[in-house]
Amino acid sequence: MTAGQVPTDGPLEPLDRIRGLLAQLEQVRTATEHRLAADGDRRATAARAGDLGVGWKRVQVRIDEGRTTLDAVFGGQDTSPEAEGLRAGAREALAKLPPPGGDAQESLDDSLEALAGARTRLAQQLGTTAPGPTTTPAPAAGPSWRTR
């Protein structure tokens, strides 16, 4: 078995399966890291050109000069008027999103159930007891993510 491959034929040693899954996770992490970097580069280029508005352009100048970071802008440490404007815009955009639940919640519930089943099967193969809860936790009440 090569890195990143999970054999599907015949019995599989639990540790081999775990190693294969870990290799796949590393590949996903690396690909995600590259995609996020490219997205950040595209955003910065658009901000410099003014395509995202005057506030973004001013903030990008400050980022390029090393006077702030995106983390500082959206984390609240940057108290410049431009940063405050970007945060206000982000809050408005988040407020327009539909509340969590529906299809996304069902998909999450299905994934958690599948994970619990896989954990139980692995524990049975290893001859141990599966740790943690085996049921899907109830979703949090209300859209508390909007109030932060």
pLDDT 10s digits, 76-117: 999 999 999 999 999 999 888 877 766 777 777 888 888 887
Name the residue ranges covered by the structural domains of the chain: 14-97
Q: What is the pLDDT of residues 24-66, one digit of tens each?
A: 999 998 898 888 888 888 989 999 999 999 999 999 999 999 9
Q: Tell me the whole-structure pTM to 2 decimals.
A: 0.50
Evaluate whether 136 touches 113 at the Cβ level (below 8 Å): yes
Expressed in angstroms, the distance from the first to the final Cα of the chain is 46
